[in-house]
């Protein structure tokens, strides 16, 4: 019974979204369906938090490899949640200076703001920056012109790497106007504009057809994997 209800909701929601671009009266219905989706998306934050707690607590209690990381994750999660929900250190809003908690949790000067600025920002920026070191090491060890395809890829990489910097101008800026298409910066644009676009559009169209097929399978109940189990 519960599965039938879920299938019915999926069918009605899907059909509403499908017909709304063609029926003006269905536009409001599709907005309602999207609202449900947004509410579910917001609930997913709670579900995600619960899942994180469960997984990390299990790893911590089992004392398996890397349990220390789980402890740090849990500590960070609980402290951030407490600081955000409790509005720790929040400065009162000027419109209501006598009302406690009237400011926003992430206003400048609050503990949440401090965590964001001095913990979150440096950590995420550092993680992203470290990629440059790994890419350099990987390029040295793995990027080999072993066959024609790999050689073409290598050549393309060189053009893009040089064309996206001032090196392109220095190396090929002397080319006359009638050969300006061969300047590295212009070659880089051509590669992105022609070859990359052609390949990507083919992929995007292929994905769109796949999404349409999957959507139809979901609507008519052939694909029930989203219900979980062996439905």
Q: By CB under 8 A, tell whether 135 contacts another protein.
A: yes
Contact stretch for another protein (CB under 8 A) within 3-11, 49-57, 140-148, 216-224:
140-148
Sketch the per residue contact string, 57 through 96, with another protein: x for CB under 8 A, - otherwise: ------------------------------------x-x-
User: Which residue matches tokens 């392109």?
Assistant: 168
- From the CB of 14, what's the least distance to another protein, in Å? 14
Contact 112, 83 (CB under 8 A): yes
* Member of 4, 5, 45, 65 binding another protein (CB under 8 A): 45
Give the Å distances, CA to CA, from 36 to 18, 33, 40, 43: 16, 5, 6, 10
CA 88 to chain centroid, in Å, comes to: 29
Contacts of 182 (CB under 8 A, 6+ apart): 172, 175
Q: By CB under 8 A, tell whether 120 contacts another protein.
A: yes
By CB under 8 A, the residues from 153 to 212 that bind another protein are 154, 157-158, 161-162, 164-167, 169, 185, 189, 192-193, 196-197, 200-201, 204
Contact stretch for another protein (CB under 8 A) within 5-13, 29-37, 59-67, 81-89:
29-37
d(CA 172, CA 182): 8
d(CA 67, CA 56): 8
Q: By CB under 8 A, tell whether 214 contacts another protein.
A: no
Contact 107, 90 (CB under 8 A): yes
Q: By CB under 8 A, tell whether 141 contacts another protein.
A: yes
∠ CA 192-173-143 to the nearest 5 degrees?
A: 50
Read off the tokens for 86. 């409790």
* Member of 143, 179, 210, 220 binding another protein (CB under 8 A): 143
Best CA proximity match to 183, nearest among 171, 166, 192: 171
Judged by the rule CB under 8 A, the positions of this chain that interact with another protein are 21, 27-28, 30-31, 34-35, 37-38, 41-42, 45, 93, 95, 104, 106, 116, 120-121, 124-125, 127-129, 132-133, 135-137, 139-141, 143-145, 154, 157-158, 161-162, 164-167, 169, 185, 189, 192-193, 196-197, 200-201, 204
């Amino acid at each position: 019974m519960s599965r039938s209800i879920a299938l019915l909701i999926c069918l009605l929601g899907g059909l509403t979204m499908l017909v709304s671009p063609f029926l003006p009266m269905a536009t409001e219905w599709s907005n309602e369906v999207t609202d449900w989706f947004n509410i579910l998306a917001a609930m997913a934050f709670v579900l995600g938090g619960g899942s994180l707690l469960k997984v990390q607590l299990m790893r911590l209690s089992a004392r398996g490899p890397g349990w220390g990381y789980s402890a740090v994750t849990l500590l960070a999660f609980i402290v951030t949640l407490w600081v955000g929900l409790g509005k720790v250190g929040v400065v009162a809003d000027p419109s209501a200076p006598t009302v406690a908690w009237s400011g926003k949790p992430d206003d400048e000067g609050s503990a949440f703001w401090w965590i964001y600025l001095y913990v979150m920002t440096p950590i995420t920026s550092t993680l992203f920056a470290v990629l440059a070191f790994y890419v350099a090491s990987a390029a040295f060890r793995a990027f080999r012109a072993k066959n024609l395809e790999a050689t073409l890829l290598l050549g393309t990489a060189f053009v893009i790497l040089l064309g996206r910097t001032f090196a392109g101008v220095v190396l090929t800026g002397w080319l006359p106007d009638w050969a300006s298409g061969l300047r590295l910066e212009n070659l880089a644009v051509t590669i992105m504009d022609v070859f990359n676009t052609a390949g990507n559009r083919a992929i995007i169209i292929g994905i769109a057809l796949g999404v349409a097929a999957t959507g139809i399978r979901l609507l008519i109940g052939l694909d029930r994997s989203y219900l979980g189990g062996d439905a």
